[in-house]
């Protein structure tokens, strides 16, 4: 039996207050905040991998300190191995996803991006003092050259993976 005392939090005599405190504390947790802000973004995966890396580094430090004293802790070693396994798995999964990614050239997001690039190209021609008829000719020829480009682009992207 332990001699340690549990120190009650202020307002902890009321279970509802304890639950509210717990909820507030959980919502302030960096992992929760990051997951709520960008759960499916690459930024979240990067952030999560950094956090796990930091934790494994702390475990390595603890392990080294014990070794300096001629001790060892299977618990620390096991936790560190688990963190490294998790990082390795995340890295392999990300690598696999990156290799299999194909840009949806028919999707609305890409179409908007493509239209913006064409507009910027046209603006560059105008600012270069190219005449309106020449700009029109270039745009017409470009449109003709782009016939069937989506299938060609998809084929080339698939060949990369």
Could you read off the pLDDT of 21-40 as tens digits, one per residue?
888 888 888 777 777 776 66
Res 70: pLDDT: 92
> Helix, strand, or coil here: 155?
helix
The 3-state secondary structure of 10-62 reads CCCCCHHHHHHHHHHHHHHCHHHHHHHHCCCCHHHHHHHHHHHHHHHHHHHHH
Res 60: pLDDT: 95
User: Is residue 119 scored above 60 in pLDDT?
Assistant: yes
The mean per-residue pLDDT over the stretch 122-134 comes to 94
Higher pLDDT, 111 or 157: 111
pTM of the complete model: 0.48
The DSSP output letter for 1 is -
């Amino acid at each position: 039996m332990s001699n340690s005392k549990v120190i009650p939090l202020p307002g902890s005599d009321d279970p509802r207050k304890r639950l509210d405190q717990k909820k507030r504390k959980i919502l302030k947790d960096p992992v929760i905040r990051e997951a709520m802000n960008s759960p499916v973004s690459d930024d979240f995966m990067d952030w999560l991998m950094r956090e796990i890396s930091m934790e494994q580094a702390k475990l390595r430090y603890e392990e080294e300190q014990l070794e300096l004293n001629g001790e060892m802790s299977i618990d620390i070693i096991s936790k560190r191995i688990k963190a490294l396994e998790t990082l390795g798995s995340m890295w392999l999964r990300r690598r696999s996803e990156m290799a299999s990614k194909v840009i949806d050239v028919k999707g609305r997001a890409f179409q908007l991006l493509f239209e913006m690039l064409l507009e910027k190209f046209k603006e560059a021609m105008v600012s270069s003092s190219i005449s309106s008829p020449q700009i029109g000719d270039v745009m017409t020829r470009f449109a003709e050259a782009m016939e069937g480009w989506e299938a060609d682009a998809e084929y080339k992207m698939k060949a990369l993976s």
